[in-house]
């Protein structure tokens, strides 16, 4: 079972309003379909800052992508055409992130 620490980031704006910071959770995957259900359920159950979840697939040969598309349609998928390893896979996704904070996870 996965457990994440909940962290809320609050920016005290100049107009006296608190603004929650948005976060992107990047999950790097390579043939980890057996672990994705528990991982994604745990991540998606979190409350706190506004967040989005992306699955970065390192050219898996298992059913990972079909599983996520079917069971977790709210997860954005980045499907790479080759296994770029940990750094390469995360860097490919990080180039597309538009939130000020990112969490990198393995399933």
Q: Is-contact 97 19, C-beta < 8 A?
A: no
> Bigger pLDDT: 71 or 1?
71
How crowded is residue 63: how many other Cβ atoms within 10 Å of its Cβ? 13
Q: Per DSSP, what are the bridge partners of residue 77?
A: 55
CB atoms within 10 A of CB 51: 19
Dump pLDDT digits (tens) for 61-88: 999 999 999 999 999 999 999 999 999 9
pLDDT of residue 1: 37
Check pLDDT > 60 for residue 6. no
Cβ-based neighbour number of residue 18 at 10 Å: 8
**CA distance linking residue 97 with residue 102, whole number of Å:** 8
Model pLDDT for residues 8-52, shown as the tens digit of each residue: 455 555 555 655 668 999 999 999 999 999 999 999 998 877 899
Q: Rounded to whole angstroms, how far apart are CA atoms 60 and 14?
A: 46
């Amino acid at each position: 079972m996965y457990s994440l620490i909940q962290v809320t980031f609050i920016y005290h704006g100049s107009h006296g309003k608190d603004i929650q910071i948005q976060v992107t959770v990047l999950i790097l995957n390579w043939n980890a379909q057996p672990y994705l259900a528990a991982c994604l359920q745990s991540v998606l159950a979190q409350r706190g800052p506004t967040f989005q979840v992306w699955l970065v697939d390192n050219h898996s040969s298992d059913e990972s992508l079909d599983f996520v598309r079917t069971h977790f349609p709210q997860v954005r998928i980045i499907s790479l055409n080759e296994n770029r390893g940990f750094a390469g896979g995360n860097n490919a996704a990080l180039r597309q992130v538009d939130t000020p904070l990112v969490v990198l996870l393995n399933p």
